Amino acid sequence: MKILVTGGAGFIGSHIVNAYIGAGHDVTVIDDLSSGKMQLVNPKATFYNLDIHSPEVKTILEKEKIKVINHHAAQISVSASVANPLFDANSNIIGTLQLLQNAVSLDIEKFIFASTGGAMYGEQKTFPASEEHPCQPLSPYAISKLCAEKYINYFGTQHGLNTTVLRYSNVYGPHQNPHGEAGVVAIFCERLLKGQQPIINGDGEQTRDFVYVQDIVQANTIALNPQCSGMFNVGTGKETSVNFLTRCLVKASAIATSIEYGPAKQGEQRRSVIDSGKLLKEFGWKPGVSVEEGLLETFNYFKNQTT
């Protein structure tokens, strides 16, 4: 199958590209390398250094005879979206809309979209949150993802485009960027390897649903199935406190250190955890990597990068 992965030089996208190529698919990557890294791009993929807004995207889709678009290129920083909502909307809404229009005009068979479950539901009313939980986004980033989802639903309903929306919880693992707010695990790995203490914002009892990147990859493989359409949460369904996460990571690192605490982030969600029962029931997906296992794999990756 001929597949385009946007953002294929990034954290999650690069793992998906590797899996698709490993399964025998012909993969094309579009990435402007604003946050992705060329060294993460699988050498067997056809690579284009390009912004998804470029009119050349349609030409590439035609040239490479793309049948499936897996859309992971995005502005992912919540704080950046707060600082510049217009830039965030241009990337996450307009960029997605242009891809959808191209998909319809070129009779693309499948459109897979990386959305957010961690930020979509806001301050949750039920735990874990299913896909039916009210969407109460608290940041321009989450608003833009919700808006993109609405456009995807429109193109599916009005134009018959086969679409799959995957709402991720908090993804971590190898290839994650340690130089931004989106990757607390990567940030802490880098601090530990530099002999610095992890710094937790607030009291550390805030919880998240931490899911390992290879489990996310499995969901994206399932999404290639023509029968897999609609919206699905992708998470563990388990709340993990930042305190517990940090203690596990320090243990995995075997580095003697203490943990520091800093001021809480303004507006940060207290609890976040999503229910992936729908994906389990319909396609048998379930997370296969525990937090302890995933943290050890992730730390070892960053350790190997420094040696």
Residue 95 CA to residue 114 CA, distance in Å, equals: 13
Residue 284 CA to residue 276 CA, distance in Å, equals: 10
CB of 44 closer than 8 Å to CB of 17: no
DSSP 7-43: TTTSHHHHHHHHHHHHTT-EEEEEE--SS--GGGS-T
Residue 4 CA to residue 62 CA, distance in Å, equals: 11
Of 141, 168, 172, 212, catalytic: 141
DSSP 228-278: --EEEEES-S--EEHHHHHHHHHHHHT-----EEEPPPTT--S---B--HH
Give catalytic status of residue 141 as yes or no: yes
162 closest CA partner among 118, 85, 224, 217 = 224
Residues tagged active-site: 141
